[in-house]
Amino acid sequence: MVLEGIKAQKMEQSKEKVFTRNDKLEERRTLRNESTAAESTFWKAIKGRQIEGIKFRRQHSVGAYIMDFYSPEIKLCIELDGEIHNENWSFTHDVSRTTYLNDKGITVLRYSNDVVYKHIDGIIEDIKRFHKEPKLIRGYIKNGIREGGIPL
């Protein structure tokens, strides 16, 4: 009787699974193995708890979305954007994705690949600042600037 209750509870939990879904495993693995140059550069700067002891994961899924970098400790997602993110359809997708992640309590910071190459220290400073006061920041944040031109 107890075993049946545990099985039912686990089945209910698996229906609600949002993080690291098994159906995204191969896609996440492919994305990790085929990282862009900007993603590789950024990963070298943050892996192994190099920033304030914060652990980041690469290509971590939440629902239907795969985040470039995610820290579950502070609920922070870092997205690196190439040229395709300048297209209208991509921007619309990015805003929808950000809204979904915000609804899960995750703050999303987006940076263009150029910022990774030219100002990676600025990204690291943004992460440190967020780490000091980790609270949900809603909305579209690109290159350290919130909607309306407000800095982090």
**pLDDT at residue 5 greater than cutoff 50:** no
Nearest Cα neighbor of 63 from 32, 30, 35, 105 is 105
If residue 42 lies in a helix (H) or strand (E), which one and from where to where? helix 37-46
The pLDDT tens digits of the residues spanning 28-80 come to: 566 556 679 999 999 999 999 999 999 999 999 998 898 999 999 999 999 99
